[in-house]
Structure 1
Amino acid sequence: MSRPSSHDKTAPEDPWGWLKDVAAIVTPLWAFLGAVATPLLEIGLGAFIAAVVAIVILTVLVVVVQRGVRLGRIGRAVVWLGTTLRAFFRGVWSLIVSPVKWIAKGVRKRADPLTAGAAGFAAGVLAVVLVLAGTSAVRLGLGWVTSSPCGQPLELRALTSAENVVGLREAGRRYARESADLRGCPRVRLSVTPQPPLATMARAANRDWNDPVSWNGKDYRALIALHPDIWLASSAATADYLERAFANLGQVRFDRMSPVATSALVVAFTPTLERRRGTQSLPTSLPGLRKWLKSVKAPLARPRADLSEIGLIASSGLYGSDTSQDIADEIAYTPPDLPLSDAAGLLCDVRDRFDTEKESLAMIVPEHLVYAVNKRQVLGACGPGHQGPNLSWSPLTELPALSYPFVRLKWANQWNERREQAAIDFHDWLAQDKLSEYGYRDPAGVFHRNEPMPLGKALPSRKADSGASAKDGPGDPIAGLIDRLGKAHPETSLLLLVDESGSMDNPITGGTALQTASSGAKTLLRRLRDSPDTVKLATFSSPGGAGQTVVTGMDQVNRRLGTLAVHGSDAPLGDVLALAAPQLEDAPNPVIVMLTDGGSQSGDLGKTVAALAKVQGLRIRLLLTGEQECGAPHIKRLLAAVGELIRCARIGSDPATPYQDQVSEVDKELTKLWRESP
């Protein structure tokens, strides 16, 4: 018997051998997909799907190469490409897959090759699941292993109206998280601050973004705010207005992008007023609504148009061509005892009183803020609301909708390609309905959340835009409206009298009486109009009466308020008024605001009355910042002697309602002063 030759000896063929190689190569591919799944999904679902498709194609390619499938010319090309890449795959296998192969070898000893291949595929899928389930941990781990500590993110500075601050700020935080790198380090940080009044911004733009009130030739200039990279306007018309002002400012380029959201201006009703309505259909026209509100003795409020962009936009629909009723209308739209500097503050005040007062009130506010109230969200001036009755809201045909143009402000020597791309990326992200959870609609006026909205899921086409644009006709309608409303409120000459006596250092809720006085005075300054209004400051204590140092000008007064210090003892309040009043003789619309803890003496009231009588049209506000009430005996004597010229109010914080601080109380007093303007 002849001995068989070696080449006649054949080993048993492994029919699943190709699957082992496929599993060894494909497993790391799917594991890699798992590692990058989270950042891909943050970029967008399309990026993730594209990666899946690419790896599926590679998997098919590997199978084709291993099986030697012939598909004609295409098949030969694929086999050639696969063969060419075989070295690459082997390199990856030797460098990365060795541990996987070692584990698979142990598995194959106990299972057939098909099971081993399936286990490899399952391992890749499990990696995807683990990454998606443990996003933060995996990203943090990868970053810690592969990268250096987080660097400083790029800060984008944004201005917007007070009504938008919370929504934009929260969206910015979310964007910072979603656009972070694999380590979780944010690439961008958004700082959002409420904007000054539009007229202030326009005048500042013509003076290199400096505060018009502080402008003093070449001696002193103060910015009205940090140079913003982004301005989220509330309408196309207000964006047009400010763009005209920026046209004269050479150091900045005004670059408007498409809107990122919409919101309707609506009439919101307190629960008490809603109950009084019953089953009656609400009028949707302004005359009908005002007639009905008059019949139920309920006021209609809107934010002050000189302070609030929202109030200004609302006024464009509320005011007709007849200007003879402007003063009466302003009085009607600014009811007393309400903070009207912005709609968020107004709704904060009303929300706090849902359970304590049976108040009938209708308010012109943005739809998204009513949504926020009913969802118990943060509004800005106050935190999340308590559980209580919901507001209802209704459309008004005269009110335009709000669109939110995204404006990039490119300041010279501050703008670069990185900042440019960051602003564009944030705009593109924000425009993808990212504000819906805060009650905003998408740029087309559609509300995508599965919740009922009184105005429906989609706004009518005429309401999906902000109304008239300044470019639609001659002149600038916003500039004309600002001028018109300014004429409805005469210029104010304000004299601030601040008590610096030793008792002002006594502690009260939230600080001292002097700190409350300083904060209240600064609030008054912020609420005054920049150009027509004037302000002076005098401090008083005993000895010294009304004080000899008088500071004039809003910025100078504001700086002096930051350096107040107690000295001396209480000065008689009446004597202080008698000494201070002559400073306002011949001044237009004179107003004295005295901020004090109340003191202990009223003074020579005969001299007080005689001195005050010499100032035509004078009005006086006595604002108490300490523990005393307006009913204290010496204060009652002063009020009785001076009569209707003087009113008294407290502006101390109420611990039961923390946000109801001196800001809202001062706003209420200032609103009363406006209503009383001659």
Structure 2
Amino acid sequence: MIPFDPRGLVNRALLVGVSEYDHTEPPHGVPGDLPAVKHNLNRMREVLTGGQVFGEQDVKVLPSPYLADFGQVLQRSARQAEGLLLVYFAGHGAIPSGADELYLQMRDARVIAGRHTVFHGAEKIGDLLATVLATSAARRIVVVLDCCFAGNAAPVREHFDDKRRVLLLMSVQANHRIDAGDARTPTPFTAELAALLDEDRDATLSDLADRLGERMAALGLRTLRDDPWEPQLRTDLGVDVLLRSGAAGRGRPVPAPVPVPGPHDPLPGPPGPDPVPRPWLRTVLSGASARLRGVCATLMGLVRSVLPPRPSWRTVFRVVLPAAVVTGLLGLGLFRLGLVGGDDTVCVPPLELRVLTDPDLEPTVRAAADAYLTSDRNITDDGCRRTGVTVYSAGSSDVVGALRGQSGAWREPPDGDVNPQRDIGPQPDIWIPASRADVDRVEDGQDTDADASLEADEEPLAYSPVVLAVPQNIASEALEERTGLSLDEMIGDLTARDANATVRRPDPEFTDVGLLATVGLYGEGGHAVARGERLVAQPGSPSPTAADLLCTLPDDDAVDNSTAALVPEFLLRSGVGCDPTTRSPRLAQYPEDVPGVEPVFVRVRWRGGDRDEAARDASAEGFRAWLTGEQEGGQVFARDGFRSADDQKLLDDEQVAEGVLREPAPLDESAGRDAMARALDAYQDAGGPGRVLFLLDSSGSMAGLWEGPSGGPGLLRQSLGGLGGRDEYGVWTVAGDDPAHATLLPLGPHARADAERAVGTGARVRDAEADPHAALLAALDEMRERGDDRPQLIVHITDGEDNDRLTGDRLDDVLAAARTSGVPVTVVSLQSGGCDRDRPDRRIADASDGRCLDADDDLGAALHDEVARTGTGEG
């Protein structure tokens, strides 16, 4: 492997170190300043400018930038670089609860819990990579991350078509935090990296990564989870780059760089005629001719495997020719990498099937594909493989949307924002969704001139119910509480046993498991959206997959021990990729109204994809036949804890996971197309702009609870951070009898500063009693009349002194209206015990599927979170 040598080209290095943060206090601040990072920048600049690749003018140092400033400088550096672009970041890194993305926190970073963006003032690693890829002509892009959770950047890189240009060096493995070390020296990772770069030798990135791991292991460095601290490198096979030339190279002429085609370079013309080979070379070439013929066949197989059925010329130039160059350079090496069958038969690479599946199914489908590749059914008499299989996954709603309305863009991406090849992956030959309803949703709304057609098997490959996996310490072992109940009833029983119990589900837009769970949460007809969302409310975004959810919960023992998870039953057998010794043992409960997972085999045909149609059909049918075989693919599903699609019995009834029932009954029927589509639409609407009406008790008894951040107006102003510019909200003051309320701020969109000013200057205590009965009925009527698809919420802030006017028929009137309105009411009682079970405030909140908060809670944070679940966050 010859590393790319960027010397002599226009190179740029951007060194970003955030040592100082504006917001470090709770509840929204980052963990603290990082004084060691100041030393990182000086040290990295010193070692990079001393090694012929970067000159003094090529290195830009950016200490503690704000997010906007970082973006501008990054784009400028990306545009200027032609050879090598190096982007280095040191500072705080953060991940959402699902660990699906890494955020690099700049000087203005804040962490605000809510449904949408949690990390303000932070750069998402996917956006950073998109920026440098889109704006830079650099032939190699090196990104070095020295922060907590740096390894979580690795999966993001895999989603980019042009990822071969990007080399990613990460200070630590995924889902791990690290110590910044002594404030007087660079951070541990950067200290070792700089020491290696400062040695008198040529330093390539791969060599640095190898030696970094050895040095850090020798030092005994460990992460904050007390695991070995292991730097990570992600590059494509055979890709490397020179970062610094050692002292031995100083004073020598700079060699011409290795010619690596840039993304916008014209293709080189054909070479001139070679001289007549000398006799010894002619002999070598003659003896290698058979091998070279095999290499040529290999190259053609590789071309077929990476291209869609009808490639554009752009794809040919950007994908095929670089592959051809690499293959030609490797030449005989490819022959020696195992492309042979029995008796030294040269094997032509098999036709490659592209298999797209649901993210929660990917481990099982990948295991099945791996087993198929080496099975007798896939091996010829010569010992060669008949078919290759590439398995990948993508968000379920994205796949359904692309097959339904973007198949043309998938086959031939336009120059625009819609590009399924980039956002999902290559055109699939086979699709294995987690529910047949996905196929029905595609076909129901598919374009009449769609470029993709689906042929789905009638029977699913297997079955797995979606269960409520309850921590054993708060679970009931009574059979009547584990089966035969609705999901709503099960959650009610759970919270009755443990008031601190919570429930979480994976992202309904990313995986079918989350959407199937949502069908049960919203109830028959999908009408209980607000209640369903409140049952699974959580800080931050939901985990992208069920496996991620089960892997994230153990990060906090208290959360793990009190949180039930809506996940497919098979995960209780096959497990997830995190330490099982830290996970709370769980019992599975089987809600009768939540459809199960039913993976189905779907052959996808593409318009114009008839170049190798017969061979591709044969390969797809061979894989399907093996996958549906009871003793073949069925064994993989059995090993992973699936059930039979016919009778819903465990495929492996001998090795039953702890906490799983052998024959739970009844189990819900298959998911319906309309139910899943309705649940997804409702979930997406619930995440849109919201509407909140605040009722602020301004009666005379509130005088002692009025001033300061914990007073009524102060709490209201704090909660406005959960609302954005697209949300509608208003404020009524409640005092007196006729009328029972006055409008302080009309319902509508507002700038936050204007709303805070209106509350701060206009809210006054009156010498009158409040009538909560009349005010609440008027508020419920107001929100009902405005009823649309927006999430809605009523917030009643009161000291409860006038609750003697909420008794008897008057209380019954409010409870009846609350039950039928569909609008949750959050009652904020400023007195201790205001939310005891029989108090009017608690009963009104419960009747409306809302929440009651009292002086025993952290009212500021709790009310902010309640409002943020309805609103879109600061905007």
Q: Provide the TM-score with structure 2 as the length reference.
A: 0.37
- Greater relative CO, 1 or 2 (CA 8 Å, sep 6+): 1
Q: Is the radius of gyration larger for structure 1 or structure 2?
A: 1
Q: Provide the TM-score with structure 1 as the length reference.
A: 0.46
